[in-house]
Amino acid sequence: MSKTQQSFNPNPIRFYALRHYFVILVLMGLLSALIGRALYIQIVDKDFLSNQGVQRQIRTIETPAYRGTITDRYGTPLAISTPVDSVWVNPAEILRNLSALKQVVKKLKLDYPETISMLKQKADKEFVYLKRHLEPELAKQVAEGVDGVYLQREYHRYYPAGEVVSHIVGYTDIDDRGQEGLELVYQDWLKAQPGQRRVIRNRKGAVVEEIAQVKPARSGNDLTSSIDMRLQYIAYRSLVRAINYHAAKSGSAVLLDVRSGEILAMVNQPSYNPNQRKNQNPAQRRNRALTDVFEPGSAIKPFTLAAAIDRGLFDNESRIDTAPGWFMVKGHPIKDIRNYGELDLAGVLRKSSNVGASRIALSMRPKDLWQSFKNYGFGEPSGVSFPAESAGYLSHYSDWQTLDHATMGFGYGLSVSITQLARAYAVIANGGQEIELSLIKKEPQKAIENQIMRHVMKPSTAAMMMEMLEQVVGSSGTATRAAIPGYRIAGKTGTAKKSTDGGYQQDNYIAVFAGIAPASNPRLVMAVMIDEPTQNGYYGGKVAAPVFQEVMSNALRILDIAPDDLPALQAGITDTEQGA
């Protein structure tokens, strides 16, 4: 090898020495960096990292509280909260243990592929519900021994009376928020305020130490309704029986205390079970007693007469000529079912004469009749403050034609709810005084002293109407099936054709009865409406009056209201003994 070639070949020993020093230099640099980072962490970043470590153990968790209980006026529970457990997971944890997840999903009867897809979509979260509101024992079996699956205590709303009182009480959603009825109206009063507490959890999520109570839990306030469940059950049973017997579409009934305005029973058909809310028809959840309106027919006639009597146009001696049983108004006939000839005012009600009621209505100025109807509560909300309550329909008198004026006298051309009708009859029962209705039990002193608002009918007129309405329930009236032995009953039937966009239907009717008991010292008012009875009659006296009779007779007995017709009661007992 030449000298020139040797000068271009590096010394192998020197080359390896340089590489050795380079490696040592790199390692020393890395070591210095690690030492520097360690010093930085131990000295500069110590507080931050310590805090982060603690935060991964310390959690602020919710302390559940239960929603307020709803009861009837005597403390019978209508809506209560029961403890349940909800199953939740940390997606990042549970997705690492698919075999365990599969078993959990199977126990919960969930779709496995859908659950996996849902958890992957929420993989960035630490809290995802798998299933809520399980019985605690079942939930414990599902979550026990499975990392990443946890339980959270919640409360589930339960309704002991089911469909009997569902339209009044309503229900809550899965988050315990009121959706219908009293649950919705009094949401702020009933709702619970969950608390917060700070705890230390281990890696499996179990609480190992309580640190502090951040915010105390506050349960909701209890609510006492005006409902008497003894009467509610009886009214519901009687209404269901009537709907079935007459093959009717629907029906409603309201029973109230005329002194306090408290509603003691309010029932509807069809109904629903608030404990089983899946796949329900929204129409079943409607509180028809407050939301649905209808033309009341002859049940309005007492108020037509009262308006005229209040204005001095008629009195007990007045007589109305209804012959020949019909008359024409602007080319339209107004008819009675027969020619009643000349009738006194009591006879107009007793025979339920459309001709007589129309003539009395036409004797008043439209403005006066309209104002009286407004005063009696027609075309106005009942004051119950219920979701979707209807105010009914009473057109302004300036829009009336002569025919409207005439038919208004016997209950066509205006619409009312059954609750409005009951409130109007309470005006008569209460000596002409308007009362404020309530689904909440009132304080005793307020129930009588502070709830009577104003006179909307003269006391003398109300007394006259009570006498006339007693005759309607008498042997020659249209409501003999509303009579109750031993008690004087006042009331009025109504039978109205149903209207559609094309006019009045010939074969579909509304059957109505509203009554007062006992007539000598009124305590209770009840109004009943049966929609489209198709079998065994359709008149109010045959369809609705028997419901009144059954419920009211039981209510008078249960509330220990003394009989006020002892001679008739004694005569009935004597006749029975003689027959025996």
Measure the CA dihedral 549/552/557/558, to 10°. 140
Strand partners, 515: 491, 526
Q: What single DSSP character describes residue 161? A: T
Q: Where are the domains of the chain?
A: 66-224, 229-271+289-579
Of 167, 417, 384, the residue nearest 292 (C-alpha): 417
3-state secondary structure at position 268: strand
Rounded to whole angstroms, how far apart are CA atoms 89 and 129? Answer: 6
Specify the CATH number of the domain 66-224: 3.90.1310.10
Residue of 226, 252, 298, 352 with catalytic role: 298
- Count of beta carbons in the 10 Å neighbourhood of residue 465: 27
Predicted confidence (pLDDT) per residue in 119-134, tens digit: 888 888 878 899 998 8
Rounded to whole angstroms, how far apart are CA atoms 258 and 299? Answer: 18
pLDDT in tens, the chain (580 residues): 444 444 545 566 665 667 777 778 777 877 787 777 777 666 666 665 555 454 456 666 667 788 999 999 999 999 999 888 888 888 888 888 888 888 888 888 899 899 988 988 888 887 889 999 888 888 888 888 787 788 888 888 999 999 999 999 999 998 899 999 999 999 999 999 887 767 666 555 556 556 666 778 889 999 999 999 999 999 999 999 999 999 999 999 999 999 999 999 999 999 999 998 776 788 889 999 999 999 999 999 999 999 999 999 999 899 999 999 999 999 999 999 999 999 999 999 999 999 999 999 999 999 999 999 999 999 999 889 888 899 999 999 999 999 999 999 999 999 999 999 999 999 999 999 998 999 999 987 554 555 556 899 999 999 999 999 999 999 999 999 999 999 999 999 999 998 877 678 878 999 999 999 999 999 999 999 999 999 999 999 999 999 999 999 999 999 999 998 767 655 554 444 444 4
Cis amide linkage into residue 324, ω under 30° from 0? yes
Of 325, 354, 358, the residue nearest 342 (C-alpha): 325
Contact 195, 217 (CB under 8 A): yes
**Which tokens in the block code for residue 269?**
């058909």
* 257-292: b (≥16 Cβ within 10 Å) or e: bbbbbbbbbbbbbbbbebeebeeeeeebbbbbbbbb
**Which tokens in the block code for residue 19?**
């590489």
> Could you give the C-alpha distances from 450 to 8, 376, 490, in angstroms and in order?
119, 19, 26
Is 252 one of the catalytic residues?
no
Specify the CATH number of the domain 229-271+289-579: 3.40.710.10
Predicted confidence (pLDDT) per residue in 391-427, tens digit: 999 999 999 999 999 999 999 999 999 999 999 999 9
Residues 6+ apart with CB under 8 A from 268: 167, 239, 250, 251, 252, 286, 287, 288, 289
Categorise residue 205: left if φ over 0, alpha if ψ from -120 to 50, beta otherwise: left
Residues 6+ apart with CB under 8 A from 372: 303, 306, 307, 310
**Segments in 145-212 forming alpha helices (H):** 166-169, 181-185, 187-190
